Amino acid sequence: MGTDKTVLFGTAFYHSSGKAPNGWTLSESAKFKMYYRCMVVCYASVRRSYPEARLVLYSNRELPEPFNSQLAALGVITEACGERYVNDPAFSNNFPGCLYTLDVIETLAKSPPLGIDTVVLLDSDCVIRTRLDRLEAVAQGTGRVYAYEPGFSVNMLANGQSRASLTLALSYFMNRLIHEPIPLYGGEFFAAPIKLLHRVSKNIECFWDWMKEEGVGTFGSLLTEEHVLSVALADPGIEVLSKTCNVKRVWTADTFSTVDGAETTIPVWHLPSEKKRGFRVLYKYCQRHGGFMHLSDGDFLALVDEAFPLQQRSRHYPGKQMQLRLRSAARLLVTGR
């Protein structure tokens, strides 16, 4: 993989109207500020673990001050992409702007950044606690990518589609029966060698066009970047590393938790329910100290643990595990995340 200079970390964020999933706010302005704080924290954590990496925010407009200057101080460049997927009226979902990730992949595939071997796309509500395990394995394999697999059951609906429906859609699209249900990958983490993005982008384009012309009548118009990317990665020529313990979607809501005590070994935490809590704490710290670069490994992990007190929020009481399982199933049925 070479040095960190050959790695690009990016976030796809499209400014669109609509409610913020997993982060209710009183106004659209408050919604965007909530996401902006998360971005600053996310990029500051990336910069600490990868001081020489290229950091890019892919967005349809620059952030307002003071957030734009705070990102610039971290060395983050803001770039715009095409908008053919995110603005296609043929499809809808409950996560405004999520399809912009597909536009980012297409842009990177058509115009690969010079000097970049590996691309890592993250959601803004992620924190890089430590360097990722075996990230170099991505660039060394021309057909190898990292993706996060939450482990959904075959028939569980996630934002309108399931592994079963996507496998059937892929079968129709390929005109042959796909016997094994394909995995459903989360959209919060995706890493790939830059040379492979053309193949991934082409898979996305072909499936998208087929869904618009034929598939939508059978499978409906609810489509997220997770659905499309999962189908695109169900390519025999692409090796997906999804079983490594690099990422976890960590729910820490008072009424819903996925905390199991093993989180301290995982480099990347995706924290959807912490947008207005832990990320606000870390953002204020970044404002006071200009980021996390001055912290030792131990001090940084202690700061993250204090901002996201996983164990303290995971209160124990009789019947809790059964209650959490029921709430987990209910949430996944409604939101898929």
Tokens 């947008």 correspond to what residue? 275
In the chain, domain spans: 4-150+185-202+225-248
Check whether 334 has a pLDDT greater than 50. Answer: no
- Which residues, at least 6 apart from 38, have a Cβ–Cβ distance to it below 8 Å? 124, 125, 275, 279, 283
Average pLDDT for residues 307-318, to the nearest whole number? 67
AA identity, residue 123? D
Residue range 231-249, pLDDT digits in tens: 999 999 999 999 778 999 9
* Residues 231/169, Cβ–Cβ less than 8 Å: yes
Angle between helix 278-289 and helix 297-307 axes, rounded to 10 deg: 140
Lowest mean pLDDT among 35-49, 63-77, 232-246, 293-307: 232-246
| Highest mean pLDDT pick, 25-29, 215-219, 325-329 | 215-219
Sheet holding 239-241, edge to edge: 76-79, 54-59, 7-13, 118-122, 186-193, 144-148, 239-241
Average pLDDT for residues 48-55, to the nearest whole number? 97
pLDDT score for 27: 84
Q: pLDDT band at residue 140, thresholds of 50, 70 and 90?
A: confident
Q: What fold characterizes domain 4-150+185-202+225-248? A: Spore Coat Polysaccharide Biosynthesis Protein SpsA; Chain A (3.90.550)
